[in-house]
Amino acid sequence: MTEPAYVAVDWGTSSFRLWLVDRAGKVLAERRSGEGMLAAAKTGFAAVLQAHLAAVEAPDHLPVLICGMAGAKTGWVEAGYVDTPAPLAAILKQAARVPGEARDIRILPGIAQRDAAAPDVMRGEETQLLGALGLQAAGEAMVCMPGTHSKWVHVKDGTVASFSTFMTGELFSVVSRETILSLAVANAEDAEDVSSFRAAVKAAFEAPAFAANLLFGARARQLLFGGTPAAARETLSGTLIGVELAAGLSGAVPKAGITLVASGRLAALYRLAFDTLSVTVQQVEADEAVRRGLSMAAAAIWTK
């Protein structure tokens, strides 16, 4: 086993991931837990981090680089924002040092769009972007990063020109749990229902204003025509994703298509949605992208 060079941490709202990395960028050890910002704000950020560092036997002198909500005002140490137009390279230069710690611990800043007509913020996705596109990416990319708060990012020659956040994942969560649709999707099996999903994506993409009507239709369809809870769930999911795509694809799409930064089930759903609309997609694994972004930043800060 080679010597560890630094520790990389993706510290989100509700998840914590840590990698022990060597000078060449190779992962020597990994930790995952649910101790995101919300949990760590109660138990203490330093204590959470220290426990995971001890578990991977990280030497005392080893520096730690963090991205994500740990850098929010309600996080550990506020790491500020790089404002749009934001060169991805600027992120590396504005990491905030955590004070009062013997160890060199830094948190990468987010990106802010200080446009009164379209205010927006991201924390963590800037590091994913760095890993997905690299520092020197020439040309244009439209990057779709699905999640609780999906981001659509317009990147030009390595600079984030503008971006938009959509509450798609969070809407799916509250609508399926807390509204009349909870009756429709209750006890849905894991089985997919591709045709319901595709139909919903198409309907919502073509008439996004009817989103709140298409959602209710999932319940009315069950009352009048029957249908499985899985079909209702896929209709709900397809409707919300279809509306997001209607907005995201409303501008010019680069020739190379959309860069989809996603993993797992979410990646599969969005690929299916883009396919339904005959839109070309290049997928980048989200988990790898954030680790690669952190590694690039750590290399720039400590191992150059």
Query: Contact between 97 and its own copies (CB under 8 A)?
Result: no
- Which of 250, 251, 264, 275 binds its own copies (CB under 8 A)? It is 250
> Nearest distance from residue 90's CB to its own copies, in Å?
18
> Nearest distance from residue 225's CB to its own copies, in Å?
6
* Rounded-to-integer distance, Cα 143 and Cα 189, Å: 32
* Rounded-to-integer distance, Cα 258 and Cα 248, Å: 10
Query: Contact between 112 and its own copies (CB under 8 A)?
Result: yes
> Nearest distance from residue 219's CB to its own copies, in Å?
8
- Which of 129, 215, 231, 299 binds its own copies (CB under 8 A)? It is 215
- Which of 225, 252, 255, 304 binds its own copies (CB under 8 A)? It is 225
Query: Contact between 246 and its own copies (CB under 8 A)?
Result: yes
* Rounded-to-integer distance, Cα 236 and Cα 157, Å: 37
The helix (run of H) or strand (run of E) holding residue 237 is helix 229-248
Query: Contact between 224 and its own copies (CB under 8 A)?
Result: yes
* Rounded-to-integer distance, Cα 179 and Cα 173, Å: 10
Query: Contact between 79 and its own copies (CB under 8 A)?
Result: no
Tell me the per-residue interface mask from 193 to 212 with its own copies, x by CB under 8 A, - otherwise: --------------xxxxxx
Using the minimum distance from each CB to its own copies, give the nearer residue, 191 or 212: 212
User: Which stretches of the chain are assigned E, i.e. beta strand?
Assistant: 4-11, 16-22, 27-33, 64-68, 81-83, 86-87, 96-97, 105-107, 110-113, 120-122, 140-145, 150-156, 159-166, 258-262, 281-285
* Rounded-to-integer distance, Cα 276 and Cα 278, Å: 6
The tokens of 157 are what? 């020659």
Query: Contact between 171 and its own copies (CB under 8 A)?
Result: yes
User: Which stretches of 95-185 are assigned E, i.e. beta strand?
Assistant: 96-97, 105-107, 110-113, 120-122, 140-145, 150-156, 159-166
Three-point CA angle 85, 87, 93, nearest 5°: 125
Stretch that binds its own copies, among 92-100, 158-166, 256-264, 292-300 (CB under 8 A): 158-166
- Which of 223, 264, 268, 280 binds its own copies (CB under 8 A)? It is 223
Query: Contact between 53 and its own copies (CB under 8 A)?
Result: no
What counts of helices (H) and strands (E) characterise the chain?
A: 11, 15
Query: Contact between 186 and its own copies (CB under 8 A)?
Result: no
* Strand 258-262 relative to strand 281-285, pairing: parallel
- Which of 24, 27, 47, 174 binds its own copies (CB under 8 A)? It is 174
Query: Contact between 164 and its own copies (CB under 8 A)?
Result: yes
Query: Contact between 119 and its own copies (CB under 8 A)?
Result: yes
Query: Contact between 179 and its own copies (CB under 8 A)?
Result: yes
Query: Contact between 217 and its own copies (CB under 8 A)?
Result: yes
Q: Are 124 and 67 in contact (CB under 8 A)?
A: yes
Instruction: List interacting residues with its own copies (CB under 8 A).
Output: 73, 112-114, 116, 118-121, 149, 164-168, 170-171, 174-175, 178-180, 207-213, 215-217, 220-221, 223-225, 240, 243-244, 246-247, 250
